[in-house]
Amino acid sequence: MLTLHTFAISHFSEKIRWVLRVAGLPFVEVPLVPGLHMPTTLWLSRRATTVPIITGDGLRVQGSDRILARLGARFDLSAVLPDDPDEHQACLAAAAAHDALGRHVMRWVYRPLVRQPGAMLMMWTLSATPTEAFAIKQLLPVLLPGFKRSFGIDDAHGAEARDGISRALDAIDRRRAGADTLAGAFTVEDLSVCALLAPLAAPAAHPIYAHPTVRALMAEAIAPWERHPTLQWVREVYARHRPLEPQQSPLMLAAARIPPRR
């Protein structure tokens, strides 16, 4: 059995969660708590503290692109990857090429959130036990400055992220030219782009990003592109291709802990 280690709010984790669901591969998701995750991720990976990480069935792989490549070599991912070896590799490379967009999205959506410690506390403790939530509350004044430094959550990087997102959205729209997919068939590239843009698109199939409270918190970040054709396309792709989460999945349980919008 595969085990997927994630953050509930991570769009890179969402990419792998979606691949596993659309491919019908059984897995157990273990959501980690941002800020308390580092001992676990370092023990699992021996190299870095990022998620997602997948283990089981002889695998121990960190990073969404490396995970996709290993899953594609080991399991049947014909739902999102071509069978032809050359096309298979080209599709994986095309998906990986959008990772910079994912980093821009993370930087941009966190800019307004880090100014609201209560919002950060809520987002980081969606999968926490009461003891973990208490620890994060005490550590937040220390964790937030380090988080902002590590990921460049500041005005200079924010402007770079905004411009990078705008360029990427326009390029995707031009490439699609109104089509339903990027390359004539739904592949892991479409899935990757949509997962990485999900925090901005807030598709209904993602119970956290679509939650009214989270949408309100991210309203400032979403506003510049809310009606952009690419984000509308992301919502449509989610509706067509993203299997709904089981009611007792960690993602649904995390979403159930989000307080109602005030």
Task: Look at residues 9, 247, 40 and name the one whose alpha carbon lies nearest to residue 125.
Answer: 9
Residue extents of the structural domains in the chain: 2-82, 99-256
Rounded distance between C-alpha atoms, residue 138 and residue 133, angstroms: 9
pLDDT for 19 equals 98
Instruction: List pLDDT tens digits, range 111-152.
Output: 999 999 999 999 999 999 999 999 999 999 999 999 999 889
pTM given for the model: 0.96
CA atoms in the 13 A half-sphere facing the CB of 250: 23
Burial status of residue 121 (CB atoms within 10 A of its CB: 0-12, 13-18, 19 or more): middle
- Of the candidate ranges 39-43, 50-54, 59-63, the one whose mean pLDDT is the lowest: 39-43
Whether the bond between 52 and the residue before it is cis, its omega within 30 degrees of 0, is yes
18 close to 190: Cβ distance less than 8 angstroms: no
Strands 53-56 and 2-6: antiparallel
Q: Is the pLDDT of residue 45 over 90?
A: no
The confidence band for 49, taking pLDDT boundaries of 50, 70 and 90, is confident
Instruction: List pLDDT tens digits, range 13-22.
Output: 999 999 999 9
Q: E strand or H helix at 56, and its extent?
A: strand 53-56
Alpha helices in 179-260 (DSSP H): 188-201, 212-217, 219-222, 229-241, 250-256
Q: Is the pLDDT of residue 262 over 80?
A: no
Structure tokens at 241: 């291709």
The confidence band for 70, taking pLDDT boundaries of 50, 70 and 90, is very high
Q: What is the rounded radius of gyration, in angstroms, for the C-alpha atoms of the chain?
A: 18
Mean pLDDT of the chain: 95
pLDDT for 261 equals 80
Instruction: List pLDDT tens digits, range 215-234.
Output: 999 999 999 999 999 999 99
pLDDT for 46 equals 78
Q: E strand or H helix at 19, and its extent?
A: helix 11-23
Q: What percent of the chain has pLDDT over 90?
A: 92
The confidence band for 182, taking pLDDT boundaries of 50, 70 and 90, is very high
User: Could you tell me which CATH number the domain at 2-82 has?
Assistant: 3.40.30.10
